[in-house]
Amino acid sequence: MAWNVFKFCTALRGLGSVMILLVLGVVGVTYYAVVITNYGPSLQNGGLDVVIALAVLILFHGLLAMLLWSYFSVVFTDPGGVPPNWRPVIDEERGENVPLASSEFSGQTMLQSSVLVDSSNSRIRYCRKCNQMKPPRCHHCSVCGRCILKMDHHCVWVVNCVGALNYKYFLLFLFYTFLETTLVSISLLPNFIAFFSDNEIPGTAGTLATTFLAFVLNLAFALSVLGFLIMHISLVSGNTTTIEAYEKKTSPKWRYDLGGRKNFEQVFGTDKAYWFIPTYSEEDLRRMPALQGLEYPCKPDLDAQ
């Protein structure tokens, strides 16, 4: 019997709570090693130790707060789906697909009902699994069981698809994870080196093991996340996704590439004050379809509902 890869993809849904608990477990081990075991007690030593410990603890808690905020924003934000019975607007006189602005769609509803009409390719795309038409830059996720707008990939670590509505949050999660794990690796490096020295190290066997484990985990995450971060920065600069980078043919000009700054603003918004936090300004939410490259809202086929 042939192995059905799609059944395997569906089985990945069961990893949901496990992966979240794993992430929280790593955070817990790291917090115990940095705050409880090492730098928290250093606040009572006095002198330079207090200054160093205070600096590490402030940075650690600040980055941790941003990391968790970004992480749960990715987990709980819908990446963007195609409305039921969606149809492209048809110009009856010309017989062509054309954009149609509608005042009935605003805010998040407008974004989730949006589509970019590709003038260079008027072919209507159809999803055989969802049994409905789908907008350009939209792909079907076998794990989620639906089509996702501007889908990048399905991430088991966040138990969600990464798409048009949560791609910024995912990038910020990578960014703050890299900063946090790098900080932890550097701050625990002296303890890690001392672990292999002949000098007697203060602490119980449990605290020493926790410090060792936290250092190894954070160093491994820092190195791996750095690679993903560099890759996604490259994708954002060219206004493409992981799927599109894999599927598209080599061409002198990617039709969605609007230039470095506009490509960046499609993901992070135009308000600089919100670039490094996992949320958007009210103005950017109103302009979200244009920012995401999903400029034109199209009405669902109301007659088919």
- What CA–CA distance (Å, rounded) separates 137 from 152? 10
Angle at 115 between CA 114 and CA 118, to 5 degrees: 160
State which H helix or E strand residue 223 sits in.
helix 205-237
Active site residues: 155
Q: 119 burial class (0-12, 13-18, 19+ CB within 10 angstroms)?
A: exposed
Strands 90-91 and 114-115: unpaired
- What CA–CA distance (Å, rounded) separates 294 from 94? 23
Residues 129, 122 contacting (CB under 8 angstroms): no
- Amino acid identity, residue 244? E
User: Which DSSP state fits 38?
Assistant: I
CB burial of 76-106 (b: ≥16 within 10 Å; e: otherwise) equals ebebbbbbeebbbbeeeeeeebebeeeeebe
The pair of three-digit structure tokens given for residue 5, joined into one six-digit string: 């890869």
State which H helix or E strand residue 184 sits in.
helix 167-195
Which residue is listed with tokens 């001392």? 194
- What CA–CA distance (Å, rounded) separates 143 from 9? 5
